[in-house]
């Protein structure tokens, strides 16, 4: 007699905890070949609202952590991901119907991407900031600072793990907190990533992961007055212009959708997209 498996219940990731959707809804996750895999929580606008509240609450601590510390925390995600490699490979194969080699390559790239972004945490200010040679007896320096809460629509196609990692890692580097809507049809990677994050050193509330319908949730995030920026990376199939228009009400910083294999290529620009440059003047005088 074969052993009966104990399937896992998949939930949202908000404030470092794993709640069900307040709406009580779930939706079916099916494998690439159409078999039932599990039920995922289907987040509502109220779940998105709750996520924004905890993202705001954790912003001070995360943005205020030393860059060195943020770098260590992000690097540790890579370490933990490496330890769970097999699980991710397995889930990617099921969800995306790819070979072991392709799935492995995706996981490797996702791990390396965390490492790459982790290294930026204590460097991007050096590269993007500068002393300004103003005319006059002034010390003048410009430094980038995190924008605040970044709402993200994760890529809805392509590699499901690499997609969400490419979307959230750059926003975290500078000290932003994020609310991300996962890949709707292949959310397993995002859900497992939330388990990695929960056991990592990332403080609760810094990353909040919602599974469900981007079309339903994104408009609420785009119009939410306490969201400071929105990355529409994976919103290409939505009415993303409307989302941009909604975001304009509170002048959110917006990154447009990207499509194709090289979507969200790692870059310094993606980090700087969610920063504000602050320039400080200070007098210099002996007398």
Partner 1 sequence: MNFLDYAPAPESQAILNLQSDYGLFIDGEFVAGRGTPFSTINPATEKQIAMIAHANAADVDAAVAAARRAYDGVWSRLSGSDRGKYLFRIARLVQERARELAVAESLDNGKPIKESRDVDVPLVAAWFFYYAGWADKLDHAGAGPNPSSLGVAAQVIPWNFPLLMLAWKIAPALAAGNTVVLKPAETTSLTALLFAEILQQADLPAGVVNIITGAGDTGSLLVNHPDVNKVAFTGSTNVGRAIARSVAGTDKKLTLELGGKAANIVFDDAPIDQAIEGIVNGIFFNQGQVCCAGSRLLVQESIHDDVVDRLKQRLSTLRLGDPLDKNTDIGAINSAAQLERIRTLSDIGEQEGAERWTADCAIPENGFWFAPTIFTNVSTSHRIARDEIFGPVLSVLSFRTPAEAIAKANNTPYGLSAGIWSDKGSRILAVADKLRAGVIWANTFNRFDPASPFGGYKESGYGREGGRHGLAAYLKPANSRPVLTAAAPAPAIETASVVEPAGAPAASPTANATAPAPKPAAGKKAAK
List of residues contacting partner 1 (CB under 8 A): 67-68, 71-72, 75, 112, 115-116, 118-123, 126-127, 137, 139, 268, 282-286
Nearer to partner 1, 120 or 220 (CB): 120
Nearer to partner 1, 127 or 241 (CB): 127
Give the single-character DSSP code of 44: -
With tokens 């945490």, the residue in question is: 121
Q: What angle do CA 283, 286, 287 make, to 5 degrees?
A: 105
Nearer to partner 1, 22 or 122 (CB): 122
Quote the least distance from Cβ 277 to partner 1, whole Å: 17
Nearer to partner 1, 32 or 123 (CB): 123
Whole-angstrom distance, CA of residue 243 vs CA of residue 266: 24
Give the single-character DSSP code of 211: -
Quote the least distance from Cβ 284 to partner 1, whole Å: 4
Whole-angstrom distance, CA of residue 155 vs CA of residue 260: 10
Which residues fall within 8 angstroms of residue 213, CB to CB, at 6 or more apart?
Answer: 42, 184
Nearer to partner 1, 203 or 266 (CB): 266
Quote the least distance from Cβ 126 to partner 1, whole Å: 5
**Strand bridging mode 138-146 / 130-131:** antiparallel
Residue 136 CB neighbours (<10 A): 8
Q: Which of 2, 36, 40, 37 is nearest to 18 (CA)?
A: 40
Quote the least distance from Cβ 266 to partner 1, whole Å: 10
Quote the least distance from Cβ 66 to partner 1, whole Å: 9
């Amino acid at each position: 007699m074969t052993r009966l498996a104990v399937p896992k219940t998949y939930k949202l990731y908000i404030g470092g905890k794993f709640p069900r959707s307040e709406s009580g809804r779930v939706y079916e996750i099916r494998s690439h070949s159409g078999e039932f895999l599990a039920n995922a929580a289907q987040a509502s606008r109220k779940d998105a609202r709750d996520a924004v509240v905890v993202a705001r609450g954790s912003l001070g601590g995360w943005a205020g952590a030393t860059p060195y510390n943020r770098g260590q925390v992000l690097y540790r995600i890579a370490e933990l991901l490496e330890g769970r490699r097999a699980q991710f490979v397995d889930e990617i194969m099921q969800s995306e119907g790819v070979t072991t080699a392709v799935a492995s390559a995706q996981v490797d790239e996702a791990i390396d991407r965390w490492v790459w972004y982790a290294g930026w945490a204590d460097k991007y200010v050096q590269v993007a900031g500068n002393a300004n040679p103003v005319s006059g007896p002034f010390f003048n320096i410009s430094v980038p600072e995190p924008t605040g809460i970044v709402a993200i629509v994760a890529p809805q196609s392509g590699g499901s793990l690499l997609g969400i990692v490419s979307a959230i890692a750059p926003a975290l580097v500078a000290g932003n907190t994020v609310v991300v809507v996962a890949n709707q049809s292949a959310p397993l990677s995002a859900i497992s990533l939330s388990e990695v994050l929960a056991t990592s050193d990332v403080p609760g509330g810094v990353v909040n992961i919602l599974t469900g319908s981007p079309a339903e949730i994104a408009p609420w995030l785009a119009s939410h007055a306490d969201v400071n920026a929105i990355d529409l990376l994976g919103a290409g199939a939505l009415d993303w212009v409307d989302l941009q228009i909604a975001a304009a009400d509170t002048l959110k910083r917006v990154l447009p959708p990207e499509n194709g294999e090289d979507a969200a290529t790692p870059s310094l620009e993606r980090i700087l997209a969610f920063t504000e440059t602050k320039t400080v003047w200070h007098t210099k005088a002996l007398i």
